[in-house]
Chains A and B, each alone.
Chain A
Amino acid sequence: MRPSAVRLLNILVPVKRSVDFAVKIRVNPEQTGIDLNVKHSMNPFDEIAVEEAVRLRERLKDAVKSIKVVTIGPPKAGETLRTALAMGADSAIHVEIPDGAPLPEPLAVAKTLRALIARQKEGVDVVIMGKQAIDDDAGQTGQMLAGLMDWAQATFASKVEIDTQKKVVNVTREIDGGLEELKCRLPVVITTDLRLNEPRYASLPNIMKAKKKSIEKLSPVDLGVDLAPRLETLKVTEPPKRVGGGKVANVDELLAKLKEAGITGKPA
């Protein structure tokens, strides 16, 4: 436990290197996964998480003591950490796994993060991470980490306000059909929704500076975690192809097509 007199926040931001969102992915012929020989970048929701951490410091100034980013991934995931450092994170941890190794499942990632949090001498008060990665689309890691730590959780955040004195955070969440506001006691796990912020571009000077920031390298063994998948992926296939039905020339033809499909006025 930290001494409780000074309230300085330590923020941890887990990020994932994933296939760039604009890439049209292709399933490999062996049906074991997709062709990964394509452009990768930081998972878009994680960019929002890094941006939010940096903005928290801009708002709360000295009350934020550190912003540490962490990734679990192959050697190339180091580039993703550099991007986060260039956006304003202070330091980084890279839990390295071999090239071609299966990406760990959310529960294994959450356990790795738990092990990393345990190693932070000054503790961690806020974990901010993306609500889902756009590769596996699981959306579980944040909730699992909060469960493992027995911390408060605020998923799908679109607004975050931290009161450092009271050690609470007010979070507006996007829920089905609207918004919900929660008040969570720190420490907390927050997962970011799209509308939390607009991530900044790293400037060239900051990219240069980021090269000097430290990246601590660890292995899953150092952390005592087992990253082997527990669910078996039997195969990965193309979704059924949808074929366009061609174009019509005008509204009358369009309405005729609707009528053919049994759609006229309001549904019965």
Chain B
Amino acid sequence: MLRTTLVRTFSRGYATAASPHALVFLEHQRGKLDSASLSALTAASQLGGKVTGLIVGTAEELPPVLEQAKRARGLDTLLHAASPQYSTPLPETITPLFEKLLSEQSPFTHVVSAHSSSAKSILPRVAAKLDLPAVSDITSVQHDQSSNSTTFTRPIYAGNAISTVRASKSIPIKFFTVRSTAFSAAAPADAEARIESIDAVPIADPSTEHISTSLTKSDRPDLGVASRVVSGGRALKNAETFKATLDPLADVLGAAVGASRAAVDAGYADNSLQVGQTGKVVAPELYMAIGISGAIQHLAGMKDSKLIVAINKDPDAPIFQIADVGLVADLYEVVPEMVAKLKQ
């Protein structure tokens, strides 16, 4: 066992010292490629080598997604596997496909995905199967070809410290998930990636079965990728007031609505709207924090926004320490005033 591992490591090291080759897990929903996956693709391109995409799904959903993905900048090859079992890619059903792709003769040196709820459930499982560590939620990546090592930065302690870690050549395949707000989405390119169909790895009697998915319906831009976000906190009193106060402002700005954990816990807003260490991490052009005090866990999710505007009654609220524009006022007076003046 030990011997085969050694041989494998050696041969891989020799074969790949020339150039990195990333396998990027590309996710899609309802026929549309996820923008976070396109950011992961940008990160993978920064390794400086070949980039292969992997898309899974049912035979019906794949064609439109492949059509979009093949034009993504940086992608050399696009692999796709179709199976009814991939309609919701569960870690238990998708891991064997990854294991096959990454087995002995695999050309891949890196496995990359967005830090999405689906991919962050899958990648660590696959990495463990191959006895390899993984690096989560990276904000920068740099590959050194001569030493075959990759260096990453990633936030730790809710973004209050930045850790620089190196995966050396002793780690033959480097797994990492990408913080999408730290990389721009890969733009469409003129060239098209080579498309290659691969066989699905069917799982007889999987240990986990998908029962249902319920997505929160919204006409607004998706929180994770919106260029503007209007966020509310506990000061919004209840779900009705939250909606009645923030929705008009979000509409006039064309913004997504977010919420602090306090507002979500109190039931004012849906879980999927939570911004923070344990919710979404956003970095829009404009982030408006309304009735949010600014706990470190919340700041972890929004402090990379370009322009932060805070509206709070309490002049000592910590949010004012990081806000570019602060207004100490009663939100129930100033938010409607803003809406009215923005409409003019």
Residue numbers in A under 8 Å from B135 (CB-CB): 231
As a 0/1 sequence over residues 207 to 225 of chain B, the CB contacts with chain A under 8 angstroms (1 = contact) are 1111111111000001010
Residue numbers in A under 8 Å from B277 (CB-CB): 134, 137
Residue numbers in B under 8 Å from A208 (CB-CB): none
Asked if A105 meets B133 with Cβ closer than 8 Å, knowing A153-B121, A232-B165, A246-B326, the reply is yes
A107 to B125, CA, bound (A): 10
Docked-complex contact B161 and A248, CB < 8 angstroms: no
As a 0/1 sequence over residues 13 to 31 of chain B, the CB contacts with chain A under 8 angstroms (1 = contact) are 0000000000000000100
- Is A61 an interface residue when CB atoms closer than 8 A count as contact? no
Docked-complex contact A194 and B278, CB < 8 angstroms: yes
Docked-complex contact A147 and B338, CB < 8 angstroms: no
Docked-complex contact A257 and B325, CB < 8 angstroms: yes
Which chain B residue shows the least CB distance to A141? B124
Residue numbers in B under 8 Å from A182 (CB-CB): 90, 208-211
Asked if A180 meets B210 with Cβ closer than 8 Å, knowing A24-B160, A137-B156, the reply is yes
- Is A181 an interface residue when CB atoms closer than 8 A count as contact? yes
As a 0/1 sequence over residues 252 to 289 of chain B, the CB contacts with chain A under 8 angstroms (1 = contact) are 11100000010011000001100001101000011000
- Measured as residues with beta carbon below 8 angstroms from the partner, the interface class of chain A is 35 or more
A135 to B155, CA, bound (A): 10
Residue numbers in B under 8 Å from A179 (CB-CB): 213-214, 271
Asked if A175 meets B151 with Cβ closer than 8 Å, knowing A144-B125, A183-B209, the reply is no
Docked-complex contact B286 and A263, CB < 8 angstroms: yes
Pick the contact of B337 from A248, A251, A253 — CB < 8 Å? A251
As a 0/1 sequence over residues 118 to 141 of chain B, the CB contacts with chain A under 8 angstroms (1 = contact) are 101111111111011111110000
- Is B324 an interface residue when CB atoms closer than 8 A count as contact? yes
Known A134-B158, A180-B210; 6 more pairs at CB < 8 Å? A107-B128, A137-B157, A137-B277, A177-B29, A177-B215, A261-B285
Residues of B participating in the A interface, judged by any CB pair closer than 8 Å: 29, 88, 90-92, 95, 116-118, 120-129, 131-137, 151, 154-168, 170-171, 207-216, 222, 224, 227-228, 252-254, 261, 264-265, 271-272, 277-278, 280, 285-286, 296-297, 303, 306-309, 315, 320-329, 334, 337-338, 341-342
Question: What are 6 pairs between A and B in contact, CB < 8 Å?
Answer: A107-B127, A175-B117, A232-B168, A247-B320, A247-B325, A265-B252
